[in-house]
Amino acid sequence: MTSTPEAAASATTATPVSAADLTATELLARFHTGELSPVEATEATLARIAEADQAVNAFCLVDRERALQQARASEARWARGEPDGALDGVPTSIKDIFLTKDWPTLRGSRTVEPAQSWTVDAPTVARLREHNAVFVGKTTTPELAWKGVTDNTLSGITRNPWDTARTPGGSSGGAAAAVALGMAPLAIGTDGGGSVRIPAAFCGIFTIKPTYGLIPHYPASPFGTLAHAGPMTTTVTETALMLDVLTGPDSRDWSALAQPAGSFLDGLDDGVRGLRIAFSPDLGFAHADPEVAEAVARAAEVFTELGATVERADPGFSDPVADFHVLWFAGAAKSVEHLDERQRQLLDPGLREIVEQGLTYSAQDYLEATNTRMALGQRMGAFHETYDLLLTPTVGIPPFEAGLEAPAGSDSPRWTGWTPFTYPFNMTQQPASSVPCGFTSDGLPIGLQIVGPRHGDGRVLRASRAFEQARPWSRPRR
């Protein structure tokens, strides 16, 4: 389950051997011509899951019969020339954080009782269902999505498709691994501190954490307005297509933004010529592995080739990790406040630790962390008056050993110790994508993070698409 950069490059031009290797737009085009049916696509996806998931453990639930039932209904609509929705018949996975009608949502926790009534769809799931995506199953998450890797005591360790000894990142690690291996071309994840961007970088796929509130969220996250939802796909176009679906209104989210007036596909190929882009290899305080730093620096040069003005510039803030911990650990404590002592003993030991720390914070501590957050947002707002976009590494290190919260020898035992490039932009609520931009000498993917101002999601997607066209990437081949 490993690959090399050379193999990945040759795979870019390889003919897909299965419908499971097609993107969502390729599937939809073949549904339109009758070359392929939703049933055939779903069967190929389910076969890929059966073939590949034993090695990576990306799914905690696969519902073959329900998926094929949805696919047959889609096939009938296409046969009548009456497809219904932007994703009609496209196999899709759901992170096991989102409520899903008729499926248990266990959130990777032994404290959730599966034998109960499951009658509600989260907004993301509801929008995907309205557009007739085919749900093949639910993907793995660390317990309550609390950390930047994916393992839990309920379903075990999820592994990286490029090297199964390594972590796929998290908390949307199952979703990223599934997309990377063709186990459904579309996935939905969550991101409270990097949880779609970290695994996208580690697994070599594309994602965006959109501006906070752009994708409605329900139930409200105990992590508050740090928590975003985000699409995870193989290409920028697929992500833009999913955003058009996921940004549909939902009254259950009191903090949701108004639905965008246009499509995220509009202007996607307009390029970056004339944009002024900042490149910060370390944000002024972080560290990146030399191979990661070199790949990201080369990626930044591509934007100059594409007609943008690229300058080395740091935003000018110090590491906000202490304040992020107050917000995050207090949220973790909130998420388990309903549990009795026996149930708390079932929690991931690391989660128990941050819950105990979260309980020590006062309201004044939380307000002070919020004040730091507001100041950070103001600084980034001013920064983007000068720069249209900011480029950084997504993660400063390559994927490390699966089953660990932090790499061996890390200065910090917490996942935040190795993710300084991601959580600041949850605090500021800015859109940020992760674009594959190269490989380590071991053949492990590296991600470039593209950060835009709040509400600049279209600009981030446009820049991501320009880079994708200039430096195409590919899934791992088994």
**Maximum C-alpha span of the chain:** 62
d(CA 62, CA 59): 7
464 is catalytic: no
**What's phi and psi for 135, nearest 5 deg?**
-85, 115
Q: CA 235, CA 206: separation in Å to the nearest integer?
A: 6
Catalytic residue among 109, 195, 434, 474: 195
3-state SS record for 262-326: CCCCCCCCCCCCCCEEEECCCCCCCCCCHHHHHHHHHHHHHHHHCCCEEEECCCCCCCCHHHHHH
∠ CA 179-395-242 to the nearest 5 degrees? 35
Residue 442: Cβ within 10 Å count: 14
- 101 a catalytic residue: no
The tokens describing 258, both together, are 């108004």
- 3-class SS of residue 88: coil
Given 3, 95, 138, 209, which residue is catalytic?
95
Structure tokens at 455: 């509400």
How far is Cα 145 from Cα 475, in angstroms, rounded to an integer? 25
Active-site residue among 171, 335, 433, 474?
Answer: 171
Backbone angles phi, psi at 357, to 5 degrees: -70, -40
- Tell the burial category of 261 from Cβ atoms under 10 Å away from its Cβ (0-12, 13-18, 19+): exposed
How far is Cα 78 from Cα 384, in angstroms, rounded to an integer? 45
Is 172 part of the annotated catalytic residue set? no
Catalogue the active-site residues: 95, 171, 195
